[in-house]
Homo-oligomer: A and B are copies of this chain.
Amino acid sequence: MTRKNRKAGVDRRQFMGGAIGAAGATLMAAAEAQQPPAGAPPAGAPRGSDIESRYSAPPSRGPQLFRAELDITDCEVEGRIPADLDGAFYRVGPDAQYPLRAGNIPFDGEGHVSMFRFQNGHVNLKTRFVRNERYLAQEKAGKILFPMYRNPYMDDPSVKGLSRGTHNTHIIHHNGLLLALKEDSPPAAMDLNTLATVDPVYTFKGQLQSKTFTAHPKTDSRTGNLLGFGYEAKGHNTTDVNVFEYTPDGRKVWDAWVSVPYVGMLHDYQVTENFVMLYVIPLAIDEAQIARGGIHWSWYSGQPTYFGYFRRGGDGKDIKWIKGPERSATHMMGGFDDGKRLYVDVEMSLSNPFPFMPMRDGSRWDPVRGASHITRLSADVSQKNPKDYQIETLYPNHIGALPRQDDRYNTVPYRYGFLPCPDPDPKDPAKRPASCYARFDLQNRSSKLFRAPEGAQLAEACFAPKSANAPEGVGYLMGVASYAAQNGRCDLIILDAERVDEGPIATVKLPTRIAGQIHGWWVPGAAIPKKA
Protein backbone atom coordinates (compact mmCIF):
# COMPACT_ATOMS: atom_id res chain seq x y z
CA MET A 1 0.00 0.00 0.00
CA THR A 2 1.33 3.39 -0.92
CA ARG A 3 1.34 5.90 1.93
CA LYS A 4 3.00 8.75 0.06
CA ASN A 5 -0.22 10.74 -0.11
CA ARG A 6 -0.82 10.60 3.60
CA LYS A 7 -0.39 14.01 5.15
CA ALA A 8 2.59 14.49 7.31
CA GLY A 9 2.05 16.16 10.64
CA VAL A 10 -1.20 14.43 11.53
CA ASP A 11 -0.69 13.74 15.20
CA ARG A 12 -1.22 10.29 16.57
CA ARG A 13 -4.30 11.14 18.58
CA GLN A 14 -5.93 12.68 15.53
CA PHE A 15 -5.04 9.71 13.41
CA MET A 16 -6.37 7.41 16.10
CA GLY A 17 -9.78 9.02 15.69
CA GLY A 18 -9.55 8.26 12.03
CA ALA A 19 -8.40 4.74 12.60
CA ILE A 20 -11.21 4.04 15.02
CA GLY A 21 -13.67 5.53 12.61
CA ALA A 22 -12.33 3.23 9.95
CA ALA A 23 -11.41 -0.12 11.39
CA GLY A 24 -14.04 0.70 13.92
CA ALA A 25 -16.95 1.59 11.69
CA THR A 26 -18.07 -2.00 11.97
CA LEU A 27 -17.07 -2.19 15.59
CA MET A 28 -18.79 1.01 16.55
CA ALA A 29 -22.07 0.11 14.90
CA ALA A 30 -21.96 -3.20 16.70
CA ALA A 31 -20.65 -1.98 20.01
CA GLU A 32 -23.19 0.86 20.01
CA ALA A 33 -25.85 -1.74 20.53
CA GLN A 34 -24.46 -3.18 23.68
CA GLN A 35 -22.13 -0.78 25.33
CA PRO A 36 -23.44 1.37 28.14
CA PRO A 37 -24.68 4.63 26.62
CA ALA A 38 -21.65 6.49 27.85
CA GLY A 39 -18.71 5.83 30.04
CA ALA A 40 -17.83 2.28 30.92
CA PRO A 41 -16.04 0.10 28.41
CA PRO A 42 -18.18 -2.49 26.64
CA ALA A 43 -18.02 -5.93 28.17
CA GLY A 44 -15.12 -7.74 26.65
CA ALA A 45 -13.31 -4.66 25.38
CA PRO A 46 -9.60 -5.32 25.54
CA ARG A 47 -8.00 -3.36 28.36
CA GLY A 48 -4.89 -1.37 27.66
CA SER A 49 -5.65 -0.92 23.99
CA ASP A 50 -5.80 2.53 22.48
CA ILE A 51 -9.54 2.50 22.21
CA GLU A 52 -9.84 2.63 25.95
CA SER A 53 -9.69 6.42 25.79
CA ARG A 54 -13.00 6.37 23.97
CA TYR A 55 -14.59 5.01 27.12
CA SER A 56 -12.87 7.12 29.70
CA ALA A 57 -15.92 9.23 30.56
CA PRO A 58 -17.33 8.73 34.06
CA PRO A 59 -19.30 5.50 34.40
CA SER A 60 -22.87 5.87 33.24
CA ARG A 61 -25.87 5.09 35.35
CA GLY A 62 -27.58 3.62 32.29
CA PRO A 63 -28.16 -0.04 31.62
CA GLN A 64 -25.63 -2.41 30.10
CA LEU A 65 -28.08 -3.71 27.51
CA PHE A 66 -30.40 -2.17 24.92
CA ARG A 67 -32.89 -4.73 23.48
CA ALA A 68 -35.89 -2.41 22.96
CA GLU A 69 -38.01 -3.64 20.06
CA LEU A 70 -40.00 -0.74 18.71
CA ASP A 71 -42.64 0.50 16.30
CA ILE A 72 -43.18 4.05 15.11
CA THR A 73 -45.94 4.78 12.63
CA ASP A 74 -45.46 7.68 10.20
CA CYS A 75 -42.10 8.81 11.54
CA GLU A 76 -41.36 12.47 11.98
CA VAL A 77 -39.38 13.82 9.02
CA GLU A 78 -37.32 16.95 8.48
CA GLY A 79 -37.34 17.72 4.78
CA ARG A 80 -39.38 15.52 2.47
CA ILE A 81 -39.35 11.79 1.78
CA PRO A 82 -39.19 11.45 -2.04
CA ALA A 83 -42.45 10.11 -3.43
CA ASP A 84 -40.54 7.63 -5.62
CA LEU A 85 -38.83 6.07 -2.62
CA ASP A 86 -40.95 2.92 -2.38
CA GLY A 87 -39.51 -0.02 -0.50
CA ALA A 88 -37.74 -0.76 2.72
CA PHE A 89 -34.33 -0.20 4.21
CA TYR A 90 -33.59 -3.22 6.40
CA ARG A 91 -30.61 -3.27 8.73
CA VAL A 92 -29.31 -5.63 11.37
CA GLY A 93 -26.79 -5.57 14.17
CA PRO A 94 -25.91 -7.34 17.40
CA ASP A 95 -27.98 -6.46 20.47
CA ALA A 96 -26.93 -8.72 23.33
CA GLN A 97 -29.82 -10.50 25.05
CA TYR A 98 -27.78 -10.82 28.25
CA PRO A 99 -24.53 -9.12 29.20
CA LEU A 100 -21.54 -10.46 27.30
CA ARG A 101 -19.05 -12.53 29.28
CA ALA A 102 -15.64 -11.06 29.94
CA GLY A 103 -13.45 -11.75 26.92
CA ASN A 104 -16.35 -11.90 24.49
CA ILE A 105 -16.60 -9.37 21.65
CA PRO A 106 -19.40 -7.07 20.46
CA PHE A 107 -19.89 -9.17 17.30
CA ASP A 108 -21.58 -11.79 19.48
CA GLY A 109 -24.90 -10.11 20.35
CA GLU A 110 -28.25 -11.40 19.13
CA GLY A 111 -29.42 -10.13 15.75
CA HIS A 112 -31.90 -7.24 15.99
CA VAL A 113 -33.45 -6.17 12.67
CA SER A 114 -34.81 -2.72 11.83
CA MET A 115 -37.10 -1.93 8.92
CA PHE A 116 -37.70 1.58 7.59
CA ARG A 117 -40.67 1.06 5.26
CA PHE A 118 -41.11 3.91 2.76
CA GLN A 119 -44.34 4.42 0.87
CA ASN A 120 -46.17 7.48 -0.50
CA GLY A 121 -43.75 9.93 1.06
CA HIS A 122 -44.13 8.43 4.54
CA VAL A 123 -42.00 6.04 6.55
CA ASN A 124 -42.78 3.54 9.32
CA LEU A 125 -40.17 1.98 11.59
CA LYS A 126 -40.33 -1.51 13.04
CA THR A 127 -37.56 -3.40 14.84
CA ARG A 128 -37.56 -7.03 15.98
CA PHE A 129 -35.08 -9.54 17.26
CA VAL A 130 -34.40 -12.51 15.02
CA ARG A 131 -36.17 -15.19 17.04
CA ASN A 132 -33.72 -17.91 16.08
CA GLU A 133 -32.97 -21.08 18.03
CA ARG A 134 -30.34 -19.36 20.14
CA TYR A 135 -32.58 -16.41 21.05
CA LEU A 136 -35.54 -18.62 21.97
CA ALA A 137 -33.44 -20.99 24.09
CA GLN A 138 -31.87 -18.10 25.99
CA GLU A 139 -35.21 -16.38 26.44
CA LYS A 140 -36.62 -19.56 27.96
CA ALA A 141 -33.60 -20.06 30.21
CA GLY A 142 -33.43 -16.37 31.18
CA LYS A 143 -29.66 -16.39 30.70
CA ILE A 144 -26.93 -16.69 28.12
CA LEU A 145 -26.33 -20.21 26.84
CA PHE A 146 -23.83 -19.45 24.05
CA PRO A 147 -21.36 -17.41 26.07
CA MET A 148 -18.45 -17.03 23.65
CA TYR A 149 -18.18 -15.81 20.05
CA ARG A 150 -17.93 -18.85 17.78
CA ASN A 151 -16.64 -21.13 20.53
CA PRO A 152 -19.00 -24.12 20.57
CA TYR A 153 -17.07 -25.74 23.43
CA MET A 154 -18.33 -23.08 25.80
CA ASP A 155 -22.00 -23.69 25.02
CA ASP A 156 -24.39 -24.75 27.74
CA PRO A 157 -25.02 -28.50 27.37
CA SER A 158 -28.76 -27.81 27.00
CA VAL A 159 -28.30 -26.27 23.53
CA LYS A 160 -26.66 -29.28 21.86
CA GLY A 161 -27.90 -29.52 18.30
CA LEU A 162 -29.32 -26.00 18.11
CA SER A 163 -28.10 -23.50 15.52
CA ARG A 164 -25.51 -21.19 17.05
CA GLY A 165 -26.38 -18.40 14.61
CA THR A 166 -27.00 -14.93 15.96
CA HIS A 167 -28.01 -13.63 12.49
CA ASN A 168 -26.65 -10.25 13.45
CA THR A 169 -24.47 -9.33 10.46
CA HIS A 170 -26.35 -8.74 7.25
CA ILE A 171 -29.82 -9.05 5.82
CA ILE A 172 -31.03 -9.62 2.26
CA HIS A 173 -34.25 -10.51 0.52
CA HIS A 174 -34.73 -13.68 -1.47
CA ASN A 175 -37.78 -15.38 -2.86
CA GLY A 176 -40.29 -13.33 -0.83
CA LEU A 177 -38.40 -13.67 2.44
CA LEU A 178 -36.00 -11.60 4.46
CA LEU A 179 -32.86 -13.60 5.28
CA ALA A 180 -30.87 -12.59 8.35
CA LEU A 181 -27.29 -13.75 8.05
CA LYS A 182 -24.38 -14.83 10.22
CA GLU A 183 -21.49 -16.48 8.48
CA ASP A 184 -21.25 -19.40 10.94
CA SER A 185 -24.73 -20.83 10.27
CA PRO A 186 -27.62 -21.00 7.77
CA PRO A 187 -29.82 -17.89 7.40
CA ALA A 188 -32.91 -17.25 9.49
CA ALA A 189 -35.94 -16.39 7.35
CA MET A 190 -38.25 -13.57 8.40
CA ASP A 191 -41.47 -12.07 7.11
CA LEU A 192 -40.70 -8.96 5.04
CA ASN A 193 -43.65 -7.05 6.57
CA THR A 194 -43.92 -8.22 10.18
CA LEU A 195 -40.29 -9.21 10.82
CA ALA A 196 -41.62 -12.38 12.41
CA THR A 197 -39.07 -15.19 12.20
CA VAL A 198 -40.69 -17.83 10.02
CA ASP A 199 -37.76 -20.29 9.73
CA PRO A 200 -34.87 -20.09 12.19
CA VAL A 201 -32.69 -22.44 10.11
CA TYR A 202 -33.36 -21.72 6.45
CA THR A 203 -31.71 -24.30 4.15
CA PHE A 204 -33.36 -23.39 0.83
CA LYS A 205 -35.67 -26.36 1.19
CA GLY A 206 -32.79 -28.66 2.02
CA GLN A 207 -30.65 -27.62 -0.95
CA LEU A 208 -28.00 -25.92 1.21
CA GLN A 209 -25.20 -28.44 1.76
CA SER A 210 -22.86 -26.08 3.56
CA LYS A 211 -23.30 -25.84 7.33
CA THR A 212 -22.74 -22.10 6.98
CA PHE A 213 -23.84 -19.22 4.77
CA THR A 214 -21.88 -16.01 4.21
CA ALA A 215 -23.12 -12.64 5.41
CA HIS A 216 -22.09 -11.25 2.01
CA PRO A 217 -23.91 -12.98 -0.80
CA LYS A 218 -24.10 -11.12 -4.13
CA THR A 219 -26.85 -10.62 -6.65
CA ASP A 220 -25.96 -11.54 -10.23
CA SER A 221 -26.34 -8.30 -12.18
CA ARG A 222 -27.73 -10.05 -15.25
CA THR A 223 -29.89 -12.90 -13.89
CA GLY A 224 -30.75 -11.67 -10.41
CA ASN A 225 -29.53 -14.99 -9.09
CA LEU A 226 -28.43 -15.18 -5.46
CA LEU A 227 -24.72 -16.01 -5.27
CA GLY A 228 -23.18 -17.10 -2.03
CA PHE A 229 -20.83 -19.40 -0.19
CA GLY A 230 -20.14 -20.98 3.14
CA TYR A 231 -16.76 -21.47 4.83
CA GLU A 232 -15.92 -23.94 7.57
CA ALA A 233 -18.64 -25.47 5.48
CA LYS A 234 -18.24 -29.00 6.82
CA GLY A 235 -18.00 -27.81 10.40
CA HIS A 236 -15.72 -26.12 12.91
CA ASN A 237 -12.15 -25.65 11.66
CA THR A 238 -12.70 -27.33 8.29
CA THR A 239 -10.96 -25.81 5.26
CA ASP A 240 -13.93 -26.61 3.02
CA VAL A 241 -15.74 -23.84 1.21
CA ASN A 242 -18.99 -24.41 -0.63
CA VAL A 243 -19.88 -21.88 -3.34
CA PHE A 244 -23.40 -21.80 -4.77
CA GLU A 245 -25.98 -20.01 -6.90
CA TYR A 246 -29.78 -19.94 -6.51
CA THR A 247 -32.39 -18.57 -8.90
CA PRO A 248 -34.57 -15.74 -7.55
CA ASP A 249 -37.28 -18.31 -6.88
CA GLY A 250 -34.96 -20.48 -4.82
CA ARG A 251 -33.74 -23.24 -7.13
CA LYS A 252 -30.08 -24.17 -6.78
CA VAL A 253 -28.46 -23.98 -10.24
CA TRP A 254 -24.81 -24.49 -9.31
CA ASP A 255 -22.52 -25.32 -6.48
CA ALA A 256 -18.90 -26.27 -6.08
CA TRP A 257 -16.52 -27.22 -3.29
CA VAL A 258 -13.04 -25.79 -2.83
CA SER A 259 -10.52 -25.77 -0.03
CA VAL A 260 -8.69 -22.79 1.52
CA PRO A 261 -4.96 -22.74 2.43
CA TYR A 262 -5.85 -22.03 6.05
CA VAL A 263 -9.00 -21.29 8.02
CA GLY A 264 -9.17 -17.50 8.01
CA MET A 265 -12.19 -15.28 8.41
CA LEU A 266 -13.77 -15.32 4.93
CA HIS A 267 -16.15 -12.51 5.76
CA ASP A 268 -16.85 -11.44 2.16
CA TYR A 269 -15.98 -12.61 -1.33
CA GLN A 270 -16.41 -11.46 -4.90
CA VAL A 271 -18.21 -12.86 -7.92
CA THR A 272 -17.75 -11.39 -11.38
CA GLU A 273 -19.22 -12.43 -14.71
CA ASN A 274 -16.66 -15.21 -15.08
CA PHE A 275 -14.94 -15.71 -11.75
CA VAL A 276 -15.36 -16.36 -8.07
CA MET A 277 -12.70 -14.74 -5.89
CA LEU A 278 -11.88 -15.62 -2.27
CA TYR A 279 -9.41 -13.67 -0.14
CA VAL A 280 -7.86 -15.41 2.85
CA ILE A 281 -6.48 -13.13 5.59
CA PRO A 282 -4.50 -14.01 8.69
CA LEU A 283 -7.41 -13.37 11.02
CA ALA A 284 -7.41 -17.10 11.51
CA ILE A 285 -8.80 -19.76 13.75
CA ASP A 286 -6.96 -20.11 17.06
CA GLU A 287 -7.69 -23.50 18.56
CA ALA A 288 -5.48 -22.87 21.58
CA GLN A 289 -7.41 -19.71 22.37
CA ILE A 290 -10.70 -21.52 21.80
CA ALA A 291 -9.56 -24.28 24.16
CA ARG A 292 -8.87 -21.59 26.79
CA GLY A 293 -12.48 -20.42 26.43
CA GLY A 294 -11.75 -17.53 24.07
CA ILE A 295 -13.09 -16.45 20.72
CA HIS A 296 -12.63 -18.10 17.33
CA TRP A 297 -10.01 -15.82 15.79
CA SER A 298 -6.61 -14.27 16.41
CA TRP A 299 -4.50 -12.10 14.16
CA TYR A 300 -1.38 -13.93 13.01
CA SER A 301 1.16 -11.16 12.32
CA GLY A 302 3.52 -11.80 9.42
CA GLN A 303 1.37 -14.49 7.85
CA PRO A 304 0.56 -14.28 4.14
CA THR A 305 -2.74 -13.57 2.43
CA TYR A 306 -4.09 -15.69 -0.39
CA PHE A 307 -5.97 -14.35 -3.41
CA GLY A 308 -7.91 -17.31 -4.79
CA TYR A 309 -10.02 -17.50 -7.92
CA PHE A 310 -11.79 -20.05 -10.10
CA ARG A 311 -14.27 -20.12 -12.96
CA ARG A 312 -17.97 -19.76 -12.20
CA GLY A 313 -20.05 -22.74 -13.21
CA GLY A 314 -17.23 -25.24 -12.92
CA ASP A 315 -16.34 -27.83 -10.31
CA GLY A 316 -13.87 -25.59 -8.45
CA LYS A 317 -10.89 -27.81 -9.28
CA ASP A 318 -9.34 -24.97 -11.31
CA ILE A 319 -8.90 -22.84 -8.20
CA LYS A 320 -5.62 -20.95 -8.04
CA TRP A 321 -4.17 -19.35 -4.90
CA ILE A 322 -1.82 -16.40 -5.24
CA LYS A 323 0.21 -15.73 -2.12
CA GLY A 324 0.58 -12.12 -1.01
CA PRO A 325 1.81 -10.00 1.91
CA GLU A 326 0.14 -9.68 5.33
CA ARG A 327 -3.00 -7.62 4.87
CA SER A 328 -6.59 -7.47 6.00
CA ALA A 329 -9.61 -7.01 3.74
CA THR A 330 -12.96 -7.86 5.22
CA HIS A 331 -15.37 -6.14 2.80
CA MET A 332 -15.56 -5.88 -0.96
CA MET A 333 -16.92 -2.70 -2.53
CA GLY A 334 -17.29 -4.21 -5.99
CA GLY A 335 -15.47 -6.31 -8.56
CA PHE A 336 -15.40 -7.27 -12.22
CA ASP A 337 -13.29 -8.96 -14.83
CA ASP A 338 -12.45 -8.21 -18.43
CA GLY A 339 -11.77 -11.83 -19.26
CA LYS A 340 -8.03 -11.29 -18.75
CA ARG A 341 -7.78 -9.48 -15.48
CA LEU A 342 -9.85 -9.81 -12.33
CA TYR A 343 -10.39 -6.68 -10.25
CA VAL A 344 -11.73 -6.59 -6.69
CA ASP A 345 -12.04 -3.36 -4.69
CA VAL A 346 -11.74 -3.89 -0.95
CA GLU A 347 -11.26 -2.01 2.32
CA MET A 348 -7.68 -2.90 3.15
CA SER A 349 -5.46 -2.47 6.18
CA LEU A 350 -1.89 -3.57 6.84
CA SER A 351 -2.88 -5.49 9.95
CA ASN A 352 -5.78 -6.42 12.23
CA PRO A 353 -8.60 -3.87 11.71
CA PHE A 354 -10.51 -4.88 14.87
CA PRO A 355 -9.27 -3.59 18.24
CA PHE A 356 -11.12 -6.41 20.01
CA MET A 357 -9.64 -9.26 17.97
CA PRO A 358 -6.59 -10.59 19.85
CA MET A 359 -3.10 -10.27 18.36
CA ARG A 360 -1.77 -13.82 18.60
CA ASP A 361 1.79 -12.63 19.35
CA GLY A 362 0.50 -10.60 22.28
CA SER A 363 1.45 -7.29 20.67
CA ARG A 364 -0.56 -4.15 21.13
CA TRP A 365 -3.26 -3.45 18.55
CA ASP A 366 -2.03 -0.77 16.16
CA PRO A 367 -4.65 1.76 15.04
CA VAL A 368 -2.46 3.01 12.18
CA ARG A 369 -1.80 -0.43 10.72
CA GLY A 370 -5.43 -1.29 11.45
CA ALA A 371 -6.81 1.63 9.42
CA SER A 372 -8.45 0.70 6.12
CA HIS A 373 -8.36 2.34 2.69
CA ILE A 374 -10.27 1.53 -0.45
CA THR A 375 -7.85 -0.60 -2.37
CA ARG A 376 -7.95 -2.35 -5.73
CA LEU A 377 -6.68 -5.91 -5.85
CA SER A 378 -6.16 -7.42 -9.26
CA ALA A 379 -4.64 -10.45 -10.89
CA ASP A 380 -3.74 -11.38 -14.44
CA VAL A 381 -5.99 -14.40 -14.85
CA SER A 382 -4.83 -14.92 -18.42
CA GLN A 383 -1.61 -16.33 -16.99
CA LYS A 384 -1.61 -19.98 -16.10
CA ASN A 385 -0.03 -19.43 -12.69
CA PRO A 386 0.14 -15.77 -11.73
CA LYS A 387 3.00 -15.17 -9.30
CA ASP A 388 1.42 -12.28 -7.45
CA TYR A 389 -1.56 -10.05 -7.22
CA GLN A 390 -1.49 -6.25 -7.42
CA ILE A 391 -2.48 -3.89 -4.62
CA GLU A 392 -3.35 -0.30 -5.45
CA THR A 393 -4.71 2.19 -2.92
CA LEU A 394 -7.49 4.05 -4.73
CA TYR A 395 -8.32 6.72 -2.16
CA PRO A 396 -5.33 7.24 0.14
CA ASN A 397 -6.92 10.16 1.97
CA HIS A 398 -10.10 8.35 3.02
CA ILE A 399 -9.83 6.04 6.00
CA GLY A 400 -12.87 3.83 6.32
CA ALA A 401 -14.50 0.46 6.34
CA LEU A 402 -17.92 -0.82 5.21
CA PRO A 403 -17.81 0.31 1.55
CA ARG A 404 -20.92 -0.18 -0.57
CA GLN A 405 -22.02 0.18 -4.16
CA ASP A 406 -25.23 0.25 -6.18
CA ASP A 407 -26.06 -3.40 -5.54
CA ARG A 408 -27.43 -3.86 -9.06
CA TYR A 409 -23.75 -3.84 -10.09
CA ASN A 410 -22.49 -6.59 -7.79
CA THR A 411 -20.97 -8.74 -10.53
CA VAL A 412 -20.22 -6.30 -13.39
CA PRO A 413 -18.00 -3.25 -13.99
CA TYR A 414 -19.20 -0.39 -11.81
CA ARG A 415 -18.43 3.26 -11.43
CA TYR A 416 -19.66 4.48 -8.02
CA GLY A 417 -18.89 3.47 -4.46
CA PHE A 418 -19.83 4.79 -1.02
CA LEU A 419 -17.86 4.77 2.22
CA PRO A 420 -18.42 6.02 5.78
CA CYS A 421 -15.23 7.76 6.87
CA PRO A 422 -14.00 10.47 9.18
CA ASP A 423 -13.62 13.82 7.41
CA PRO A 424 -10.41 13.44 5.35
CA ASP A 425 -9.93 17.19 5.39
CA PRO A 426 -11.08 18.43 8.81
CA LYS A 427 -11.12 22.17 9.32
CA ASP A 428 -10.23 22.03 12.99
CA PRO A 429 -7.58 19.37 13.62
CA ALA A 430 -8.06 19.74 17.39
CA LYS A 431 -11.60 18.40 17.12
CA ARG A 432 -12.66 14.87 16.37
CA PRO A 433 -13.26 14.86 12.59
CA ALA A 434 -16.86 14.80 11.37
CA SER A 435 -18.39 11.47 10.43
CA CYS A 436 -18.85 11.46 6.64
CA TYR A 437 -20.12 9.54 3.68
CA ALA A 438 -17.80 9.66 0.67
CA ARG A 439 -19.17 8.99 -2.78
CA PHE A 440 -16.45 7.73 -5.09
CA ASP A 441 -16.48 8.07 -8.86
CA LEU A 442 -14.01 5.38 -9.88
CA GLN A 443 -14.00 6.54 -13.49
CA ASN A 444 -12.05 9.66 -12.64
CA ARG A 445 -10.98 8.75 -9.07
CA SER A 446 -12.88 11.73 -7.71
CA SER A 447 -15.01 11.91 -4.60
CA LYS A 448 -17.77 13.93 -3.00
CA LEU A 449 -18.35 14.20 0.71
CA PHE A 450 -21.33 14.46 3.04
CA ARG A 451 -20.37 15.68 6.50
CA ALA A 452 -22.76 14.60 9.25
CA PRO A 453 -23.85 17.10 11.90
CA GLU A 454 -21.54 17.57 14.86
CA GLY A 455 -21.73 14.72 17.34
CA ALA A 456 -23.23 12.28 14.84
CA GLN A 457 -21.64 8.90 14.09
CA LEU A 458 -22.73 7.43 10.77
CA ALA A 459 -23.30 3.71 10.28
CA GLU A 460 -22.84 1.95 6.94
CA ALA A 461 -24.71 3.57 4.05
CA CYS A 462 -27.19 1.86 1.75
CA PHE A 463 -28.06 2.78 -1.83
CA ALA A 464 -31.66 2.72 -3.12
CA PRO A 465 -32.10 3.22 -6.87
CA LYS A 466 -34.67 5.81 -7.96
CA SER A 467 -36.36 3.08 -10.00
CA ALA A 468 -35.57 -0.45 -11.16
CA ASN A 469 -34.14 0.90 -14.41
CA ALA A 470 -32.44 4.03 -13.13
CA PRO A 471 -28.83 4.44 -14.31
CA GLU A 472 -26.06 3.37 -11.93
CA GLY A 473 -25.89 5.52 -8.83
CA VAL A 474 -29.07 7.48 -9.57
CA GLY A 475 -31.13 7.26 -6.43
CA TYR A 476 -30.78 7.73 -2.67
CA LEU A 477 -28.05 7.04 -0.19
CA MET A 478 -29.28 6.49 3.33
CA GLY A 479 -27.76 5.68 6.67
CA VAL A 480 -28.32 5.97 10.41
CA ALA A 481 -26.65 8.71 12.41
CA SER A 482 -26.42 8.22 16.16
CA TYR A 483 -25.72 10.85 18.80
CA ALA A 484 -23.79 9.58 21.80
CA ALA A 485 -24.54 12.79 23.71
CA GLN A 486 -28.28 12.12 23.30
CA ASN A 487 -28.19 8.62 24.83
CA GLY A 488 -27.57 7.19 21.37
CA ARG A 489 -30.62 8.83 19.77
CA CYS A 490 -30.68 8.14 16.04
CA ASP A 491 -31.74 9.80 12.82
CA LEU A 492 -31.96 8.22 9.39
CA ILE A 493 -30.32 10.52 6.88
CA ILE A 494 -31.38 10.38 3.22
CA LEU A 495 -29.17 11.93 0.56
CA ASP A 496 -29.41 12.31 -3.17
CA ALA A 497 -26.76 9.72 -4.05
CA GLU A 498 -25.46 11.84 -6.93
CA ARG A 499 -25.20 14.93 -4.78
CA VAL A 500 -24.25 13.77 -1.29
CA ASP A 501 -22.31 16.99 -0.77
CA GLU A 502 -25.55 18.98 -0.90
CA GLY A 503 -26.77 17.51 2.40
CA PRO A 504 -29.90 15.57 3.36
CA ILE A 505 -33.07 15.77 1.32
CA ALA A 506 -34.81 14.20 4.30
CA THR A 507 -33.92 13.28 7.86
CA VAL A 508 -36.10 10.79 9.70
CA LYS A 509 -35.99 12.08 13.27
CA LEU A 510 -36.17 9.23 15.75
CA PRO A 511 -36.98 9.88 19.40
CA THR A 512 -34.63 7.23 20.78
CA ARG A 513 -31.63 5.11 20.12
CA ILE A 514 -32.43 2.06 18.01
CA ALA A 515 -30.60 -1.26 17.78
CA GLY A 516 -27.16 -0.93 16.19
CA GLN A 517 -26.21 -1.94 12.69
CA ILE A 518 -23.48 -3.83 10.97
CA HIS A 519 -25.01 -4.04 7.49
CA GLY A 520 -28.18 -2.94 5.74
CA TRP A 521 -30.05 -3.69 2.53
CA TRP A 522 -32.57 -2.01 0.28
CA VAL A 523 -35.62 -3.98 -0.86
CA PRO A 524 -37.77 -2.35 -3.57
CA GLY A 525 -41.49 -2.19 -2.85
CA ALA A 526 -42.28 -4.57 -5.69
CA ALA A 527 -40.38 -7.33 -3.86
CA ILE A 528 -42.31 -6.92 -0.62
CA PRO A 529 -45.48 -9.05 -0.45
CA LYS A 530 -48.72 -7.13 0.03
CA LYS A 531 -49.85 -7.43 3.62
CA ALA A 532 -52.35 -10.20 4.29
Closest to A515 in B: B511
Q: Which of B61, B68, B73, B142 contacts A512 (CB 8 A)?
A: B68
Q: Which of B62, B68, B76, B486 contacts A72 (CB 8 A)?
A: B68
Closest to A513 in B: B512
| Given A63-B510, A142-B122, A511-B62, residue A69 in contact with residue B72 (CB < 8 A) | yes
Contact, CB under 8 Å: B486 / A62: yes
- Which of B68, B139, B453 contacts A511 (CB under 8 A)? B68
Q: A530 → chain B, closest Cβ, in Å?
A: 18
Minimum CB–CB distance from A155 to chain B (whole Å) comes to 20
Write out, one digit per residue, whether chain A residues 45-82 have a CB within 8 A of any chain B CB (1) or not (0). 00000000000000001111111111111101000000
Q: How many residues of A contact B (CB 8 A)?
A: 30
Shortest distance from the beta carbon of A307 to any chain B beta carbon, whole Å:
43
Give per-residue flags for A512-532: 1 if the beta carbon is below 8 A from chain B beta carbons, else 0.
110000000000000000000
| A489 contacts partner chain B, Cβ-Cβ < 8 Å | yes
B453 touches A61 (CB 8 A): yes
Q: Does A487 contact B (CB under 8 A)?
A: yes
State the CA gap A474–B70 with chains docked (Å). Answer: 36
Q: Given the complex of chains A and B, what is the CA–CA distance between A142 and B123 in angstroms?
A: 11
**Which residues of chain B have C-beta atoms less than 8 A from A453's C-beta?**
61
> A37 interface residue, CB < 8 Å from B?
yes
Residues from chain B with Cβ under 8 Å of A513 in the complex:
487, 511-512
The answer on a CB contact under 8 Å between A509 and B69 is: no
Which residue of the partner chain, among B61, B64, B71, B122, contacts A69 with CB atoms under 8 Å?
B71
Write out the residue numbers on chain B whose beta carbons fall within 8 Å of the beta carbon of A509: 62-64
Q: List 11 A-B contacts (CB under 8 A).
A: A37-B511, A62-B486, A62-B509, A63-B76, A63-B510, A64-B76, A65-B76, A69-B72, A73-B139, A487-B512, A487-B513
